[in-house]
Amino acid sequence: MALNEVSKEVGYINRIIRNVRNVKKSEFNPFFEDLNAADCIILVGEGRSQSALYIGMGQLNKEVRTMVDIDFPGRDIVEAAPVLEKKFERIALLVNSGSGETTTPKIVAKQLSDYIEHEKSDKFTIDAVVSNTNSSIGRIAEKEYGTVLELKGRERKSNTTNTFLKHGIMNDVYELGSLLLFQKTKEAINEKEDYKAVFKKVEEESTAIGEIVDSFVSSNLYQDIIDKLESRCRITLGGLGPARNAAKMTAIRLQHVKRALGDETYLSGSFAPRPRASDILFLISWSGETESILEWCREHKKFGAYVYSIVGNESALTRESESFIIESPPTTFYERATFALSPLPLHLVERLHHRGFRLPEYIMEWWEHSVTQ
Q: What is the pLDDT of residues 103-112, one digit of tens each?
A: 999 999 999 9
In a domain, 6, yes or no: no
254 and 267 in contact (C-beta within 8 Å)?
no
| pLDDT score of 226 | 96
Closest CA to 170 of 296, 37, 349: 349
Residue 99 lies in a domain: yes
Backbone phi, psi, residue 337, to 5°: -65, -40
Asked if the structure places residue 5 within a domain, the reply is no
Please give the Cα distance from 360 to 216 (Å, whole number). Answer: 28
pLDDT at 153: 86
| The predicted structure's pLDDT at residue 167 | 35
Q: Do 175 and 201 fall into the same domain?
A: yes
Tell me, what's the pLDDT at 2? 59
Q: What is the overall mean pLDDT for the chain?
A: 91
Q: Which of 190, 210, 230 is the last residue of a domain?
A: 210
> How many CA atoms within 13 Å lie on the side-chain side of 258?
23
Q: Is residue 253 one of the residues assigned to a domain?
A: yes
Which of 40-44, 87-91, 169-173, 334-338 has the lowest average pLDDT?
Answer: 169-173
Span 29-67, pLDDT tens digits: 999 999 999 999 999 999 999 999 999 999 999 999 999
Q: What is the pLDDT of residue 4?
A: 77
pLDDT digit string, tens, across residues 257-315: 888 888 999 998 888 889 999 999 999 999 999 999 999 999 999 999 999 999 999 99
pLDDT score of 91 more than 60: yes
The verdict on 15 and 125 lying in the same domain is yes
Report if residue 101 sits inside a domain: yes
Instruction: Please identify, among 173, 192, 210, the residue that sits at the C-terminal boundary of a domain.
Output: 210
Decide if 114 contacts 138 (C-beta within 8 A).
Answer: no
Together in a domain, 206 and 221: no
Range of the domain at 87: 11-210
Residue 1 lies in a domain: no
Domain boundary residue, one of 162, 193, 210: 210
Name the burial class of residue 327, with classes exposed (0-12), middle (13-18) and buried (19+) by CB atoms within 10 angstroms of its CB.
Answer: exposed
pLDDT of 270 reads 82
The two beta strands, 306-311 and 280-285, are parallel
Shared-domain flag, residues 44 and 185: yes
Does residue 2 lie within any of the structural domains? no
187: pLDDT strictly greater than 50: yes
Q: Any idea what the CATH number is for the domain that residue 246 is in?
A: 3.40.50.10490
Domain count, the chain: 2
Given this model, what pLDDT does residue 163 score? Answer: 38
Of the listed ranges 234-248, 302-316, 342-356, the least confidently predicted one is: 342-356
pLDDT at 165: 30
Do 118 and 257 share a domain, yes or no?
no
